[in-house]
Amino acid sequence: MRVRLMYGIVPMALLAACSVGPDYKRPEFWDKQALESSLGVVENNYPVSVFWYQAFGDETLNWLVGEALRSSPNVKIALSRLHQARYSLNINRVEYWPTIDANGSYNYAYAPKYAELGDKTSYFRGGLDASWEIDIWGGGRRQTESYMALYKAAADNFNDVLLSMTAEVANTYILLRTMQEQLRISNENLKLQQDILATVQAKYKSGLADDAALHQAEYAVQTTKALIPDLEYQEQAYKNALAILLGRLPDSVDGLELSDINPVAVTFNFDLDRLAEFPLDAVRNRPDVRAAENMLISKNADIGRAVAAMFPSVSISAALGWQGHLFRDLGRSENAAYGYTPAISLPLFHWGALVNQVKLSKSVKEEYVYSYQNALLNAAEEIKNSMVAVEREYEKNTALQKSASSMKKVLSSMKVKYKEGLIEFSDLLSTEQRLLEVQNNLAASRGAVYQKIISFYKAVGGGY
């Protein structure tokens, strides 16, 4: 008897250990050497920290990022979706586990016309029901695999939101500081032009300057004044944008006023060699790329679920209960009743629905293979573009620094020559306007250096 039982149990155990359908294998679109060559990555690489923005050395920025990651509605939405994915996993992973339900009822009937059969019927029922669909072909395990991948994809999307939020706060903060630096430059130039206007007015009263020079000086002052309101508006707009990112009302974040310490006032010193020293795995480990791969894993597991539905299903149900005329009769052995029902169901004819479901699942998987490939290509493109952008912006910044230095010297010389009457005022005005332009361009470039570095760290996954 024991031998027969073993002959029955062993095959069932072996069947229950198998899972039909394809096991996941990561698709390879190119080899490591091709990727290294394309991105120009060196062997000596360093891990990227999630606190990469702290390298800028700005405590206000550090606080803003931390507060945004704690309080932003976008982060909370992503966290809520992660919880939802976890609950879905917990629900679906137990679908093929045994279930037990308790039940109870009371029945009362009164029929006076049939007194000879007993005009009253009254009894209680109570017990337990159990059922279990045995996961012989692995459909349940494939379902758990699918929902586990979806949960991991939700976690990757959550990390992607954290990365995007960090980059967006840093980028908006740099835009604010850039605007404040340009506002400072404009105010300084306005003061300079007002001083020049005073000089021209003095010359005009002395008969040493004509109406054209006076009007040109007044024009320069008013033109610079006209720039300032727009700069102040943009400054306030960036402050409001930061407040919204932090989940606050506009104009409710302190510490954003123009101060003597402005990171955009100087060019950030960044080691350009480090652009090629990030881990090559950063391409595959970006949160959005990992999410795309986990979606592919889920769709691959769905094929196994569809295949398992084509095979026979085996289930067992059982019941244990008691029945009696009085409530106290429940639980007594003489009133006990039990039973069990093994069952098997074999799909025979479904008009091709099961076969087409397998084909559909395979087609969906194929789509997600290409989506994963797109995610990898986009990641590689963004990384390469960001590396080039940082390098080129530093080249531009170096040229602008030299240009601004030269124009300051030219303006200083032109002011002396004008006071001595050696040049026309229009020459001085033209030099001053060119200096203002190059100074604003230099401030914008210094801000762009930060922005390009932020884009680089975001492109390589920001340590997530």
- Contact assessment for residue 422 and residue 414, using Cβ atoms and an 8 Å cutoff: no
pLDDT band of 405, cuts 50, 70, 90: very high
C-alpha 285/C-alpha 292 separation (Å) is 11
**Domain 97-134+313-346 coded CATH 2.20.200.10:** yes
Assign domain 22-95+137-311+353-459 one CATH number from 1.20.1600.10, 3.30.70.1400, 1.10.3720.10, 3.30.470.20: 1.20.1600.10
pLDDT at 288: 96
Q: What share of the chain in percent tops pLDDT 70?
A: 93
Q: Residue 116: helix, strand or coil by DSSP?
A: helix
Per-residue pLDDT band for 1 (boundaries 50, 70, 90) equals very low
The token pair at 376 is 């990898």
Residue matched to tokens 């310490």: 261
pLDDT at 108: 79
| pLDDT given at position 117 | 54
d(CA 411, CA 418): 10
Evaluate if residue 462 carries a pLDDT over 60: yes
Work out the pLDDT band at 180, boundaries 50, 70, 90: very high
* pLDDT the model gives residue 81: 94
The pLDDT-based confidence of 282 (bands split at 50, 70, 90) is confident
User: For the residues 83-92, what does the mean pLDDT come to?
Assistant: 93
| 258 vs 173, higher pLDDT | 173
Query: Residue 229: is its pLDDT beyond 70?
Result: yes
Tens of pLDDT along 317-366?
999 888 877 777 777 777 788 888 999 999 999 999 999 999 999 999 99
Provide the terminal-to-terminal Cα distance of the chain, rounded to the nearest Å.
Answer: 59
CA distances from 202 to 108, 205, 212, 217, 300 (A): 114, 5, 14, 12, 84
**Does residue 187 contact residue 229 with C-beta atoms inside 8 Å?**
no
Domain ranges for the chain: 22-95+137-311+353-459, 97-134+313-346
Mean pLDDT for all residues in the chain: 88
pLDDT of res. 5: 40
Top pLDDT among 321 and 156 is at 156
Alpha carbon distances (Å) from 261 to 238, 356, 393, 394 = 18, 66, 23, 22
Which candidate, 464, 456, 462, places its Cα nearest to that of 39?
456
**Model pLDDT for residues 42-75, shown as the tens digit of each residue:** 766 788 899 999 999 999 999 999 999 999 999 9
Shared fold status for 22-95+137-311+353-459 and 97-134+313-346? no
Q: Which residues contact 248 (CB under 8 A, 6 or more apart)?
A: 71
6: pLDDT strictly greater than 80: no
- Rounded mean pLDDT of 1-12? 46
**By percentage, how much of the chain surpasses pLDDT 90?**
59
276: confidence class by pLDDT, cuts 50, 70, 90: confident
- Are 108 and 124 in contact by the 8 Å Cβ rule? The answer is no
Higher pLDDT among residues 420 and 211, named by residue = 211
User: Of 70-74, 105-109, 196-200, 278-282, which has the strongest mean pLDDT?
Assistant: 70-74
How large is the average pLDDT for residues 19-31?
91
Q: Residue 13: its pLDDT value, please?
A: 45
| Helix/strand/coil (H/E/C) assignment for every residue in 19-77 | CCCCCCCCCCCCCHHHHHHHHCCCCCCCCCCCCHHHHHCCHHHHHHHHHHHHHCHHHHH
pLDDT > 90? residue 453: yes
Residues 6 or more apart in contact with residue 193 via CB below 8 angstroms? 217, 220, 221, 224, 432
Q: List phi, psi (to 5°) of 327.
A: -65, -35
